Amino acid sequence: MSALTIHKGLAGVVVDRTAVSMVNPDTNSLTYRGYPVQDLAANCTFEEVAYLLWHGELPTPAQLAEQNAAERAHRALPHDLVLTLLALPESAHPMDTLRTAVSILGANDPDEDDNSPEANQAKALRLFAALPSVVALTQRRRRGLLPLAPREDLGYAENFLYLSLGSIPEPEIVRAFETSLVLYAEHSFNASTFTSRVVTSTLSDLYSAVTAAIGALKGPLHGGANEAVMATFEEIGDPSSAEAWLKTALAEKRKIMGFGHRVYKNGDSRVPTMRRALQTVAELRDGHRLLDLYESLARAMYAEKGLHPNLDYPAGPAYHLMGFDTPVFTPIFVASRITGWTAHISEQLAANSLIRPSSVYSGPAQRALSR
Ligand code: ACO
């Protein structure tokens, strides 16, 4: 590679190997540790997928039982953390609350700077266990409600929904939610995962890497798109307005959230699975109008720009129909992606090299300082 070749946005640049997942846009496939994500979504719990991402294999019943016991034991947030989070302004975005929570958990962890595989795996599991409680705290606070105590008798997805919404929904809704968690868990060197690897490459700590990754995921070109999709649907209002709305938005050079992808150019491999989950939720939650809007805008977008939806497009309306407030959508993505991020942090540390690209200088030529 010539030193003067600029790869804006690092598009197409291969910076390392990974054994965590493979995105293949040619075959429109995504595999976690070799397993197609659609098969994992159909057959596995999110806890099993987390184990797979961290350890490279699906768990045996005994391994899963051990992980589940540890996860359930770490769901409750320290009292001081709850008080600190409740002291943040009510207007704080839930992503900011989540980022702050991870940072505080790091500051309180005596093992924060222990980068051994064992210590980092223990931290990953504790964050995995605690994040639903933080997300739920932000959801309930928006409705003037205090946090609920986690329930150790419930699986991960059921407990997450119970903590957030105050009751356990129908099994089909729980499964649709779990499907979204499996699909969001991992996606190779996306912007937030790469961020976590950059921070890790300086031999900083796992909490710092995750805090930075949350910041990267917040942006609307990345995870923030699932929230922006709902804002788009609200702006359009009626399915019959989708086409005209889109023509105007494109004429104004607006980016249409939930469409396009850096890697997939012929459709996001996760969308069909999440679209089916959305259908299930829509049928149980009187969401047919939202589904019509979904289809109208997708059709118009393909006709106008040839662009396909990405995962955020079906996930946003699905979370809305489940009962989540829009600003909580991207934090749910974080609670899922913590599994992929921490798997990559371990992989980075196992064969580390400082990530430090080069640039072409475009400022003033060297000049004399006349003072
Ligand atoms: N709306 C309108 N035009 C678009 C969109 C879109 N959503 N996506 C791509 N385009 C257009 C661009 O304007 C550009 O057109 P041009 O060549 O005429 O200028 C062309 O398609 C190429 O787009 P880029 O932005 O250069 O493609 P890139 O690979 O850098 O971007 C990205 C990928 C950032 C995801 C982009 O498609 C986008 O902004 N989408 C909307 C945000 C979004 O949905 N993000 C979620 C990503 S997936 C995830 O996080 C789960």
Same fold, 21-219+327-351 and 223-321: no
Tell whether the torsion through CA atoms of 81, 87, 88 and 93 is positive or negative: positive
Which one, of 200, 229, 213, 220, lies nearest residue 293 by Cα? 229
Q: Is 312 a catalytic residue?
A: yes
236 has a pLDDT exceeding 70: yes
Does domain 223-321 fall into CATH 3.40.50.300?
Answer: no
Which one, of 183, 91, 215, 78, lies nearest residue 134 by Cα? 78
Q: Looking at residues 256-260, what average pLDDT do you find?
A: 97
Q: Looking at residues 9-23, what average pLDDT do you find?
A: 95
Which one, of 125, 98, 148, 118, lies nearest residue 327 by Cα? 98
Average pLDDT taken over every residue of the chain: 97
Please give the pLDDT value at position 172.
98
What is the residue extent of each domain of the chain? 21-219+327-351, 223-321
pTM of the entire predicted model: 0.97
Backbone angles phi, psi at 294, to 5 degrees: -55, -50
CA–centroid distance, 152 to ligand 1, in Å, is: 42
Residue bearing the CA closest to ligand 1, atom 46: 222
- The matching CATH number, chosen from 3.40.47.10, 1.10.580.10, 3.40.1640.10, 3.40.710.10, for 21-219+327-351 is 1.10.580.10
* 4 confidence band (pLDDT: 50, 70, 90): confident
Instruction: To the nearest 10°, report the CA torsion of 129, 130, 133, 139.
Output: -110
Please give the pLDDT value at position 176.
98
> Percentage of the chain surpassing pLDDT 90?
97
90 has a pLDDT exceeding 90: yes
For the Cβ of 225 lying below 6 angstroms from any atom of ligand 1, the answer is yes
Residue bearing the CA closest to ligand 1, atom 9: 260
Ligand 1 pocket mutation pick from 310, 330, 332, 341 by most atoms within 8 angstroms of CB: 310
Please give the pLDDT value at position 286.
96
* 27 confidence band (pLDDT: 50, 70, 90): confident
* 28 confidence band (pLDDT: 50, 70, 90): confident
Please give the pLDDT value at position 1.
46
Burial of 238 (0-12, 13-18, 19+ CB in 10 A): exposed
Q: Looking at residues 221-244, what average pLDDT do you find?
A: 96
Query: Which element (helix H / strand E) includes 330?
Result: helix 329-350
Burial of 325 (0-12, 13-18, 19+ CB in 10 A): middle
Q: Looking at residues 177-201, what average pLDDT do you find?
A: 98
> Percentage of the chain surpassing pLDDT 70?
99
Q: Which of 261, 308, 320, 344 is catalytic?
A: 261
DSSP 129-145: HHHHHHHHHHHHHHTT-
Closest-lying ligand 1 atom to the alpha carbon of residue 315 = 51
Ligand 1 pocket mutation pick from 21, 256, 261, 319 by most atoms within 8 angstroms of CB: 261
3 has a pLDDT exceeding 80: no
CB of 136 within 8 A of CB of 59? no
CB of 151 within 8 A of CB of 67? no
For the Cβ of 256 lying below 6 angstroms from any atom of ligand 1, the answer is yes
The model's pLDDT over 293-312, given as tens digits with 9 standing for 90+, comes to 999 999 999 999 999 999 99
CA–centroid distance, 258 to ligand 1, in Å, is: 9
Q: Looking at residues 140-147, what average pLDDT do you find?
A: 97
CB of 311 within 8 A of CB of 184? yes
Q: Is 39 a catalytic residue?
A: no
Residue bearing the CA closest to ligand 1, atom 49: 222
Q: Looking at residues 212-231, what average pLDDT do you find?
A: 97
CA–centroid distance, 116 to ligand 1, in Å, is: 38
Backbone angles phi, psi at 341, to 5 degrees: -55, -50
2 has a pLDDT exceeding 70: no
Side-chain half-sphere exposure of 159, counting CA atoms within 13 A: 25
For the Cβ of 342 lying below 6 angstroms from any atom of ligand 1, the answer is no
